[in-house]
A and B are shown apart, each in its own frame.
Chain A
Amino acid sequence: MRRAVVIGAGLAGLVAGVRLAEGGMRVTMVAKGVGSLTLSPGVIDVLGYAPGRVDSPREALGAFVAERPDHPYARIGADALEEALAWFTDRVPQMRYRGDGPRNLLLPTAVGVPRPTALAPASMAGADLRGGGRFVVVGLSGLKDFFPRLLADNLARADLPSGAMVGARHAEITASPRPGRADVAGQVYARALDDPAFRGEFAAALRGLAEPGETILLPAVLGMARAGEVFDELQERVGAPIAEVPTVPPSVAGMRLNTELTGAFARAGGRVVLGVEAVGATGSDGRISEVLVRDAARTRALPADAVVLATGGFSAGGIALDSYGGLHEVVLDLPVAGPPAGVAPLSERHLDHQPLMASGVAVDGMLRPVGPGGEPVWDNLHAAGTIVAGAEPWREKSGEGIAIAGGFRAAGAILEET
């Protein structure tokens, strides 16, 4: 059986891992820790800004990559992206992803800013702001870091497509799994709502809050392992439409997605080793034969016929900056494509264009990291996710799309090579 090693357990690594394992390979995923997917809001961004707000990623993508020939989407291609997204939503049926064909939804963030996103769990899709609507944002008095009034105020002055009128007010309920506490975390509510007893109390508190025509917006804590059941039952018992709004981390929706995807990986026969660090590789004739991993006692060699590097970019620790300003890829010391000479690596405002944060490895059409001349560093090494240079997911709202399409494409290239 051919063996693959996936380095990194985030969205890109998991997607590659599932596809490789389903494709019949023996896959070992090694990671320093749990992937940041658990922190994500659970929606699937594909292309939200280019730089103006994007209504249809499918229509916008052609011009977008034409202007950015080094962007990961330019390597992957629009068709592969769509194929990957369809494959992905089939792998995580419990998330019940919904979209609007080629068009973006417009969903409120935790602070009530409209976020263009391609796919969202059914439990969130009802908050779509494109057609306007009337909302009552319901806070949970014990939940930390969720502010219904701020959300409602921001929604009421949100930048929406012309003609979309939004009315929003706020309310609060006190039902809590830990009464008397003001700092209860989202996962505590979510696990408690899996239990029918607390769910009943919670539903009773919500009943009558919404006026006719209003949608109830709640923080995304409606169930963990049984989220689908919790959502359906609450909506039915409350008698009004409900939609979840993503929270700041800890993000229950991100945890649900991570659980379902790691479950799919395990069912396909993949194995995960957490808490270890990949520190290098050995190989010959242009091919990696072993990935070196530091475990509790020593450095061990994991045999590999193919490798997927999905360690994440600068913020995740896949790329490091030394005190001389040099950029390094931390596992395999691959060449790094950083800001061109003469370009300031960072700009003043946090969410602006930040060339340093877009640094990563340059790849070919099979997503193999390449050297300065464009030749692959290793024939059987592929990269996916934010370790690939050229994207600014925080500005483009493209992170999940790049991760899913990249992981899918990297795995595809490996499976084709038999």
Chain B
Amino acid sequence: MTHPLHELMRDSLDHCVKCTICETYCPVAAATPLFPGPKYVGPQAERYRGGDANADASLDYCSSCGICTQVCPQGVKIAEINSQAKAELAQRRGVSLRDRLIARPTLAGWMGAPVWPVANWTTSFGPFRLLLEKVLRIHRKAPMPRWAGRTFQSRTRSRRKAPDPAAPQRKVVFFHGCAANFYEPGTASMAVQVLEHNGLEVIIPKQGCCGLPLQSNGQYDAARAYVRRLAAQLAPYARAGHDIVATSTSCGLMLKREAHEILGVDDDDLRVVSERMFDICEYLVMLDERGELKRDMQPVDMEVPYHAPCQQRGHGVGTPAMELMAMVPGLRASQVDAVCCGVAGTYGLKAEKYDIAMEVGRSLFDQVRASGAALSVCDSETCRWQIAAATDRPSVHPVEMLHRAYGLG
């Protein structure tokens, strides 16, 4: 794990005063005695790392939710240091076939898409899931998305326009992420329609995976290759002055910050893309601040619980989804009092971690169920799948609520 930025992250260790705030906020440490907490496996254990011998392997139970870094009052990059140490541990132990597979959403996506009815049948077929658990250690109850057939990319080929330096303001680039491409093209379409309703032209360039699941599963070299390729695809648009808008909060955060701070990617393509990258709710609230957001919303008479996922909090932009929903007449959104749903991307899929993930999310699920609402709202895909499966009701992206309010479908 030797890159110059790694040293910068490690230097932040010197600011740790062992105050324990990260330990008391860590959702995993609260759920299981198997994880002793971010300070223990990070600022404390880091001094034992780097040689031939190894520090405590309980680090492997860190879910990489990033809450520790957000709550640290001293600016210690705890989550980043622990992610890097986890990758080192994974390399030392050898990366399992399971972790190679679940870290490549495009692989499963492309395998399932052409045969989507069969693929969907198998992943909901009990005996197959049992086999998957025995052979690959993917938990039989872990939430799995359903393939949507045609990918979002192939549905939107006509929008693969070139950058337009003459009118960058009116045109935004939409970064949809793998989940929308294979499983939730409907959410992506709603996002496009909401942006268009607000007078923006939407360009959807060819785009690949950001590499975040690879990073979470300790495969940094592959993750760097993925994110560099994606940054190269988006950079010409950023250079032409187009803003890039994302519905996937975790992939957006990867491009904003994590690829740089965790993977140590330090190139111009990534830099220009970072500066132009916006989460869609952040972007719409920014339009509103400028007086450019359409306020022609129809009443949506509903009560909805909203969960701000860990990765959304990592953007450091507050909770723009709540601000947007507050603009919709009749819509009563309330933020759930919980930090994490437990799934943390691929963590909760793993047989040995599924129960921990469910315990992490328990209070969140209880609150959603107790609300009696017909659906819940959350920005991140894997969190939505986890919450929907655990609460027996759909979980939707906030942009879907705006789509309803605008009367777009």
Contact = CB atoms under 8 A, between A and B. Distances in A.
B70 A297 contact: no
B23 A250 contact: yes
A89 interface: no
B319 interface: yes
Contact of A178 (B21, B33, B73, B75): B33
Given A181-B33, A296-B257, A275 B70 contact: yes
A266 B24 CA distance: 20
Contacts of A395: none
Interface string A249-275: 110000100000000001000011111
A60 B257 CA distance: 52
B316 A295 contact: yes
A36 B19 contact: yes
Contacts of B274: 297-298
B380 to A, nearest CB: 15
A34 B71 contact: yes
Interface string A272-301: 111111000000000000000111111010
Interface centre among B24, B75, B316, B319 (most CB of A within 10 A): B24
B313 interface: yes
Contacts of A277: 75
A185 B392 CA distance: 34
A104 interface: no
Interface residues of A, number: 36
Given A296-B256, A296-B316, A33 B21 contact: yes
Nearest to B20: A250
Interface residues of B, number: 33
Contact of B30 (A187, A274, A298, A317): A187
Interface in B360-379: none
A272 B314 CA distance: 13
Interface in B211-270: 253, 256-257
B315 interface: yes
Contacts of B318: 28, 271-273
B389 interface: no
B69 interface: yes
Scoring A34, A39, A293, A303 by chain B CB atoms within 10 A of each residue's CB, the highest score goes to: A34
A303 B25 CA distance: 30
Interface string A76-114: 000000000000000000000000000000000000000
Interface in B7-22: 19-21
Interface string A31-49: 1111110110000000000
A226 interface: no
B356 to A, nearest CB: 15
B166 interface: no
Nearest to B289: A303
Contacts of A294: 316
A275 B313 contact: yes
Interface in A37-71: 38-39
Interface string B316-344: 11110010000000000001000000000
Contacts of A255: 24
Interface string B109-147: 000000000000000000000000000000000000000
B307 to A, nearest CB: 15
B44 interface: no
Given A274-B71, A297-B256, A38 B315 contact: no
Interface in A168-184: 178, 181
B277 interface: yes
A204 interface: no
A130 interface: no
B75 A32 contact: yes
A297 B277 contact: yes
B293 interface: no
Nearest to A302: B318
A334 B289 CA distance: 29
A75 interface: no
Name, among A38, A39, A250, A274, the residue most crowded by chain B CB atoms within 10 Å (CB to CB).
A274
B71 A275 contact: yes
A316 interface: yes
Nearest to A274: B70
Contact of B313 (A34, A274, A293): A274
A391 to B, nearest CB: 20
Contacts of A276: 316
B74 interface: yes
Given A275-B316, A276-B316, A38 B24 contact: yes
A254 to B, nearest CB: 9
Contacts of B335: 266
Contacts of A36: 19, 73
B33 A296 contact: no
B314 A296 contact: yes
B370 to A, nearest CB: 15
Interface in A288-324: 293-298, 300, 303, 316-317
Given A275-B70, A296-B317, 6 more contacts: A33-B21, A34-B25, A185-B37, A249-B19, A296-B316, A297-B274
8 A-B pairs closest in CB distance: A295-B316, A275-B70, A33-B73, A276-B316, A297-B256, A250-B20, A296-B257, A34-B71
23 contacts: A32-B72, A33-B72, A33-B75, A34-B73, A35-B73, A38-B21, A38-B24, A39-B19, A39-B20, A181-B33, A187-B24, A250-B20, A250-B23, A250-B24, A255-B24, A271-B318, A271-B319, A271-B322, A295-B316, A296-B257, A296-B314, A298-B274, A303-B289
Interface of B: 19-21, 23-25, 30, 33, 37, 69-75, 253, 256-257, 274-275, 277-278, 289, 313-319, 322, 335
